[in-house]
Structure 1
Amino acid sequence: MNHSPAWTPWRRQTVHIAPRQNRRRRARRPARWDGTPPGAQPTAPGSLKAPETANDKLTALDNFRKGSENHALTTNQGVRIDDDQNSLRAGSRGPTLLEDFILREKITHFDHERIPERIVHARGSAAHGYFQPYKDLSDITKAAFLCDPRSTENYPGLSVRSTENYPGLCSLFDSTGRRGVC
């Protein structure tokens, strides 16, 4: 058994301490630099670092901007906010800190915003009855209840929910739940 420190018995192979002469070393890639010095990156309009970008359109909109009524922008607790567009950061290019209570308040408002996706309770009206066409309409349609001149029990309903967003559309259903023609 070899008791050399460069030999590991559990792997049964030799560990090379010195680098091999033939092994190619990867060249380190230089970090990308876009030519913008720190602190000169683009900023939000209205911030202290923003370049002067006044034009006629922006001047006309000044009367309609948030806070133009000479009321101070405040938090939920009534603390005045001078700037709600920039967050507290660790350094000039560091991550945003959650110690910024204004940012936390904005995140809380965003997370608790209610976006109605679907309303479960249907609205509308329906009627139970019998339908009987005057004659066979198989040359016009393939609907079974219109092709057979016998009386058919049905339960048509008008769903108000589907017509709220589409005023020209209405949904009729028969007793089996199939969508009919409006």
Structure 2
Amino acid sequence: MATAIIFGSSNGDGNTRQLVNTISNNLSAKIFDLNDFNFSFYDYAHHNKNDDFLPLIHSILQANHLIFATPMYWYSMSAQMKVFFDRLSDLISIEKEIGRLLKGKKVSLIATGCDPIPPSCFSEPVRLTAQHLGMHYHSFLYCTCPQDFSVIEHRPQINQFLNTL
């Protein structure tokens, strides 16, 4: 698998999912819907080390390019995505060997939201996390969707994103 899309949203069929489907169809990427996995927030005592997080990471590690997909909720990533990002701490504390396998992977971010332009604080956690883990932050695609997502309306942005990959 060349590309994995890690999708986190409270609306499994919403605008972000429509964007994910479009990107996935163009890249033949595998989609990992975080709602399909049972994992909890980061726990310093690691009581949750036997949940679905590590099996999910093992699957995602098969890809060279990781695309994180989230709607913009209150100028931030979704709660599902935030929990996933927090759990990456497991990979620098108790699962360091697995964490090292992220080094060199390409990372992109795709998102939808109502605002015409996302604030810089929206993409910074992904960029900085990639940098911290030795991954290469590559690109960011944001599609403003005050109503329903439209592939036709966003085709130029989508094509530009796809052409940079």
**TM class by shorter-chain length?**
under 0.3
TM-score normalized by the length of structure 2? 0.19
TM-score normalized by the length of structure 1? 0.18
Say which structure is richer in strand.
2
Instruction: Considering Cα pairs closer than 8 Å and 6+ residues apart, tell me whether 1 or 2 has the greater RCO.
Output: 2
Say which structure is richer in helix.
2
